Amino acid sequence: MKKPLFERLRPVPLTKSVVSSDACIYFYRAATFLGWVPPKARLHRWAYLLWTCTTMVLGLVYLPLGLTLTYVVHFDKFAASEFLTSVQVDINCIGNCVKACVTFSQMWRMRRINAMIAPLDERCTTLNQRQILHKMVARGNRIIVFFLSMYIGFTTTTLFSSVFAGKAPWQVYNPLVDWRQGTRQLWEASLLEYIVINIGICQELLSDSYPIVFLSIFRGHLAILKDRIKNLRCNPELSENENYQQLVDCIKDYRTIVQCCDLIRPIMSATIFAQFMLIGIVVGVASVNILFFTTSFWMTLSNIIFIAAICAESFPLCMTCELLIEDCESLASGIFHSNWMDAERRYRSAIIYFLHRVQQPIQFWAGAIFPISVQSNITVAKFAFSIITIVNQMNLADKFRKEA
C-alpha cells in the first residue's frame, strides 16, 4: 500500500509511536532543500555547500538587487500597477534578507530544542497524553503546508496573470533575457523570475513558520503537563515518595520548556521585529495597488493573496503567543486544583514553588521593545491605512495616471 503524499498532516494512529521532533519534519525538509541542513557525510558536504551558496546568493543578493536595478534601468517602462507590484515584493525582500540571515545562522538553536524536548516524550504514558502528542505533531506539519500553499499561491497567480497580460511578473533585472523581445523570451524570463522568487519565498517560509511550529510544540507539552498534574496523587497504589517524585518530574519538565523558550527567544525577537517594521508599509502599498491601479481580476486576486500572506507572517504567531500565556494560566489553575491539600509538607512546599514559577507567564518580545501580541500586530498594521489615506488625500493616484 502506497503512503499518501503528505502523510504527516493527519495524526497517526495511537498504535504508532511519534516524537516531538516529528512536528518539524516538513520544516527540516524545506531547510534541506534550501541547503540549510548540511549532510553528515563529508563526501557530499562540498556539493551541498555549493547549493547553499547558490540559494543564498539568488534569494538574498540577486533578488532584491535585481528588483532595485530594474527601477534604475527600466523605470520609464513601468506602468503604475506593475511598479507597485514590484515594489511591494522588493520591500518584503529587504525584510526577508534580515530574517533569513538570522534564521540560517541560528538553526543550531532549533536542533538544540529538539534534543532538549525529546525526554518529555517519554513521559506520555496515558492514552490522552499520547493523543495530545500525536495531534501536536500533525499540527506542526500542517503549519508548514499552510504557509507553503499561501506563498506559492501568490507567486503562481502573479506569474500566470502577468504572462497572459504579456508582461514579466516582477520584472527582475535580467541581463541575459529581455522579455520584451518576444513570447519565448517572455516565458523564459518569467520562469527564471518564478524560480528565483520561489527560492526567496522558501527562505521566508522557514523564517515565518519556525516560531509557530516550535511554540505549538511547547503548547502541546504544556497541555500534556497539565494532564499529568491533574493525575498526581490519584493512584492509591503509589507511595508518598513516588508521588513526590512525579511532582518533581513535572517541575523539571516545565523548567525544560522554559529553557527551550529562552533558547528560541533571541531569534524570535529579531525576526518578528523585522516583520513588524515592514508589515504596514507592504500591506499599504498592496492595498493602494488594488484600490487605485489594478484593473485585471487575476492581478487583484494576486495582490489579495499577497496581503493574506503578509498578514499570515505575523498574525498566527501573535495569536500563538497569546495562547501560550493562556496555557500558563490554565496550568497554574490546574496546579492549584490538583490533589495536594492533604499531602505531606515537602509535597506542599514543592507545589507552592511550582505554582509561583508558573504564574510568571512565558512571554515573547519583538526587539525587546513591544510584546508579541495581537494588539501589537494590529498597531503596526494600521500604518497601511495611513498610506492609503495619504494617497487618497493628496490625489496621488490621478497624478500617476496622468503622468503615465
Using CA atoms, how far apart are residues 270 and 101, in angstroms rounded to an integer? 11
Average pLDDT over residues 360-373: 86
Question: Residue 173 has which C-alpha cell?
Answer: 533585472
Q: Are 226 and 257 in contact (CB under 8 A)?
A: no
80-109 residue pLDDT tens: 777 777 777 778 888 888 889 999 999 999
Average pLDDT over residues 156-172: 85
Q: Write the CA distances from 231 to 48, 221, 226, 238, 357, integer angstroms.
A: 49, 15, 9, 12, 20
365: helix, strand or coil: strand
Q: For position 1, what pLDDT does the model report?
A: 40
241-256 residue pLDDT tens: 888 899 899 999 999 9
Give the pLDDT band of residue 396 (cuts 50, 70, 90). low
Question: Which amino acid appears at position 87 of this protein?
Answer: V
Q: For position 322, what pLDDT does the model report?
A: 92
* Torsional sign, CA 183, 185, 189, 192: positive
Using CA atoms, how far apart are residues 208 and 316, in angstroms rounded to an integer? 10
Question: Which amino acid appears at position 76 of this protein?
Answer: D
Q: Are 176 and 62 in contact (CB under 8 A)?
A: no
254-293 residue pLDDT tens: 999 999 999 999 999 988 888 887 887 888 888 877 777 7
Question: Residue 42 has which C-alpha cell?
Answer: 563529508
Give the pLDDT band of residue 295 (cuts 50, 70, 90). low
Q: Using alpha carbons only, how large is the chain's radius of gyration in Å? A: 25
Share of the chain above pLDDT 70, in %: 92
Q: For position 105, what pLDDT does the model report?
A: 92
Using CA atoms, how far apart are residues 189 and 200, in angstroms rounded to an integer? 17
Using CA atoms, how far apart are residues 116 and 317, in angstroms rounded to an integer? 22
Of 26, 199, 212, 211, the C-alpha closest to 97 is 199
Burial class (CB in 10 A: 0-12, 13-18, 19+), 371: middle
